[in-house]
C-alpha cells in the first residue's frame, strides 16, 4: 500500500466521521459543526472529503469555521494532527494551480475555465474581483507573479489557510484496508499510487462499481456530478456518496463509519 505523504492511514480509532463537499455553504456547515462538537468522541477521526471552498459566497469564512472546528476538537480531546484530515477536491486543486498562475502557458484560458467552475467565488471572498484577475492574467508573467505573491500574502494573513492548502491529502484509508475515502472517485484498474487526478476529477462509471476495489469493501466520496435529489445509498453498496445535487439545495451530507466499512449513520445539515 502506498504510504507517501499524499495518503494517510487511519489507526487506533473508534469511528470515522466524514463530511462531503461544503462548497462554501457557511450556514449549512454551522449546523454540521454544532452536531460534531456535541457528539464527537476522543477516539474518533474526522475527514473532510474536499471542496470546502468554491461556488458559494463564503469560501474564506467557511474555511475559517472549519479551522476553528479543528482547533476546538484538538484542544478538547488533545488530538494528534492526523486525527482530522483534509482531502483535496477539485476546488482546492484549481485554487492551488491559481497560486502558480505565472507558470501557466495559457493563463487567460485557465482563468476562464476555473472561473466557469466556481473559483471566482473563492477569489472574491479573499477580496479580489473577477475582472481584476482576468485583466492580470493577460498582462504578462511579471504582473501575474506579483499578483500571485499578493494572493499568497492574503492567505498568510488568515491563520491556517496557507497550511490548509499545503497539507491536503489525496486519499485516506483505515488500517484494515477495508474503507477508502476520496473526493470524487478512483480508477479501480489502477493502484492508489497511480490514480493521478482521478481522486478529484473522477472516473467514468465510478458510481456503478458493484465489487470491492482491492481489499476496500467501501469507498466513501464527497462529490458527484450527476444530479440526484436523494441520498441513494444501500448498506450493500460499495460506493457511498456524501453529496447530492443540485448545488442550490445547499445540503451537506455526512456519514459515520466503522473501520470495516460499515455505515453507522448518515445525516445532513438541518
Give the Cβ contact number of residue 5 at 10 Å: 8
Burial of 217 (0-12, 13-18, 19+ CB in 10 A): middle
The pLDDT assigned to 207 comes to 80
Per-residue CA distances from 46 to 35, 60, 116, 178, 218 (Å): 13, 21, 31, 17, 17
CA 54 vs. chain centroid, Å, equals 11
- Which residue ranges make up each domain of the chain? 7-88+170-268, 93-161
- d(CA 79, CA 72) in angstroms, rounded, equals 10
pLDDT for the residue numbered 84: 97
Helix (H, G, I), strand (E, B) or coil at 20: coil
Contacts of 202 (CB under 8 A, 6+ apart): 184, 185, 224, 225
Q: b/e for 91-107, b at 16 or more Cβ within 10 A?
A: bbbbbeebeebbebeeb
Q: Compute how many other C-beta atoms are within 10 angstroms of the C-beta atom of residue 3.
A: 10
CATH number for 7-88+170-268: choose from 3.60.21.10, 3.90.1150.10, 3.40.50.2300, 3.30.200.20. Answer: 3.60.21.10
Q: How far apart are CA 192 and CA 20, in angstroms?
A: 20
* Nearest to 20, CA basis, from 62, 59, 52, 45: 52
Query: Quick check: helix, strand or coil at residue 214?
Result: coil
How does DSSP assign 95-107, residue by residue? Answer: HHHHTTGGG-S-H
What separation, in Å, do the N-terminal and C-terminal C-alpha atoms of the chain show?
38
- Between the alpha carbon of residue 56 and those of residues 11, 12, 194, the distances in Å are 34, 36, 32
Separation CA 86–CA 173 (nearest Å):
13
What's phi and psi for 223, nearest 5 deg?
Answer: -160, 145
Residue 256 forms beta bridges with which residues? 17, 265
User: String of b and e for 117-152 (b: at least 16 CB within 10 Å)?
Assistant: ebbbbbbbbbebeeeebbebbeeeeeebeebbeebe
DSSP state of 188: T
Q: Please, what are the averages of pLDDT over each run of 10 residues along the chain (270 residues)?
A: 73 96 97 97 98 96 98 96 96 96 95 97 97 95 97 97 96 96 95 93 86 95 73 69 85 95 93
Helix axis angle, 141-156 to 130-137, nearest 10°: 140
Amino acid at each position: 500500500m502506498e504510504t507517501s505523504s499524499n495518503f494517510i492511514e487511519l489507526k487506533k480509532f473508534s469511528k470515522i466521521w466524514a463530511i462531503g463537499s461544503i462548497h462554501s455553504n457557511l450556514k449549512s456547515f454551522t449546523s454540521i459543526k454544532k452536531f460534531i462538537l456535541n457528539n464527537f468522541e476522543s477516539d474518533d477521526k474526522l475527514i473532510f472529503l474536499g471542496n470546502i471552498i468554491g461556488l458559494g459566497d463564503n469560501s474564506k469564512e467557511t474555511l475559517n469555521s472549519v479551522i476553528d472546528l479543528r482547533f476546538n476538537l484538538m484542544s478538547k480531546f488533545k488530538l494528534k494532527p492526523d486525527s482530522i484530515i483534509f482531502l483535496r477536491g477539485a476546488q482546492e486543486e484549481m485554487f492551488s494551480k491559481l497560486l502558480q498562475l505565472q507558470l501557466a502557458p495559457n493563463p487567460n484560458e485557465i482563468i476562464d475555465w476555473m472561473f466557469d467552475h466556481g473559483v471566482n467565488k473563492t477569489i472574491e471572498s479573499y477580496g479580489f474581483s473577477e475582472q481584476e484577475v482576468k485583466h492580470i492574467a493577460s498582462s504578462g508573467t511579471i504582473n501575474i507573479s506579483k499578483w500571485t505573491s499578493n494572493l499568497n500574502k492574503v492567505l498568510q494573513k488568515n491563520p491556517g489557510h496557507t497550511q490548509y492548502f499545503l497539507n491536503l491529502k489525496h486519499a485516506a484509508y483505515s488500517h484494515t484496508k477495508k474503507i477508502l475515502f476520496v473526493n470524487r472517485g478512483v480508477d479501480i484498474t489502477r493502484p492508489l499510487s497511480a490514480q493521478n487526478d482521478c481522486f478529484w476529477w473522477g472516473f467514468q462509471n465510478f458510481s456503478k462499481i458493484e465489487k470491492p476495489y482491492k481489499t476496500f469493501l467501501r469507498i466513501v466520496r464527497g462529490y458527484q456530478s450527476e444530479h440526484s435529489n436523494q441520498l441513494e445509498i444501500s448498506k450493500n453498496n460499495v460506493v457511498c456518496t456524501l453529496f447530492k445535487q443540485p448545488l442550490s439545495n445547499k445540503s451537506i451530507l455526512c456519514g459515520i463509519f466503522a473501520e470495516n466499512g460499515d455505515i453507522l449513520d448518515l445525516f445532513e445539515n438541518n
